[in-house]
Amino acid sequence: MSEILVQTLVSGLLIGLIYALVAIGLTMIFGVMDIINFSHGEFLMFGMYSSFWLYTLYAFDPIVTLPLTALFLFGLGVIVYKLVISKITNAPMVSQIFTTFGLMLLFRGIAQFFWKPDFRTIGHTMVSGSFSVGGIQIGTPQLTAGVGAILVTAGIYLFITKTRLGAALEATAADKEAARLMGIDSQKMFALAWGIGAACAGVAGVLLSTFFPIFPDVGANFILIAFVVVNLGGFGSIVGALVAGILVGVIEVMGGFLLGPQYKLAIVLVLFLAVLMFRPQGLMGKA
């Protein structure tokens, strides 16, 4: 029983790190622009398909092509901002919500049109297989995804806290008007935030593609939980998203183990409602 419990905790920790990586991109966009991006899960989906087609057509391993996919998703995020989001930065929130929701439907429709609603998987990769530690079975793809999520999260945190460009992003998030008076181009910061957010989702997609099925609606499996993670950690907090992602992953998996898999999502949503009721600013958000 103890081995099963530890196995469950390890699984929750690893999937929680992926949740955190997806949520960090989401919280960055909201923190800098105060826009809720409902199409964020579709950037993850594009990352998974990019990984799949590079593997299928050219036999490029997903881990090898991860930097290329991250760069592609960064560019896609910037393009989406320039063509669509830049037009609604000063629009009412309801307009912003409908715009990003429309982007979500558009991206899913494009994926279904070109790639059909079939489930696809990537075969053997350089991280395929598993190993045992003290009787605990750990999948190498899941471990690689967890370690990758930690490294990317650490990189984003260091970029924000240790570089001038990161300081400009933080200043824009704190006070857009004051940042503009200091000579910071807010439009460039907004585009950068969208690019980094999309790249984070794309990296998560590549890491997931080594062990998770790929299909047009795959983003829906993660975006709802990502919103819970962002809310729990505190909107705009990278460290909060990391802590909350791990917490949600462990609670989801443990809840499924103790109560039944059919209750996993319900437990996460109850947690979401509890946070909204008792601490709406999140664990590390400002009151």
DSSP class per residue in 132-182: EETTEEEEHHHHHHHHHHHHHHHHHHHHHHHSHHHHHHHHHHH-HHHHHHT
Domain that holds residue 222: 2-108+190-278
Q: Is residue 145 part of a domain?
A: no
Is there a domain that residue 268 lies in?
Answer: yes
Taking the C-alpha atoms of residue 112 and residue 117, their distance in angstroms, rounded to an integer, is 5
The answer to whether position 169 is within a domain reads no
Q: Could you report the per-residue pLDDT of 170-213, keeping only the tens digit for each?
A: 888 888 888 888 888 889 999 999 999 999 999 999 999 999 99
**How buried is residue 246: exposed, middle or buried, by Cβ count under 10 Å (0-12/13-18/19+)?**
buried
pLDDT tens-digit readout, 230-246: 888 887 788 889 999 99
Please answer whether residues 246 and 11 qualify as being in contact, where contact means their C-beta atoms are separated by less than 8 angstroms: no
Residue 219 forms part of a structural domain: yes
Task: Dump pLDDT digits (tens) for 56-88.
Answer: 999 999 999 999 999 999 999 999 999 999 999
Which residue, 252, 5, 250, is CA-closest to 135?
5
When pLDDT is cut at 50, 70 and 90, the band that residue 3 belongs to is confident
In angstroms, the first-to-last Cα distance of the chain is: 41
Whether 156 is in a domain gets the answer no
Residue-averaged pLDDT of the chain: 89
Residues 106-127 have pLDDT tens digits of 999 999 999 999 999 998 889 9
Domain count, the chain: 1
What's the pTM value of the predicted model, to 2 decimals?
A: 0.92
Alpha-helix residue ranges (DSSP H) falling in 34-85: 40-58, 62-83
Tell me the per-residue pLDDT of 124-177, one tens digit each, with 9 for 90 and over.
889 988 888 877 888 999 999 999 999 999 999 999 989 999 899 888 888 888
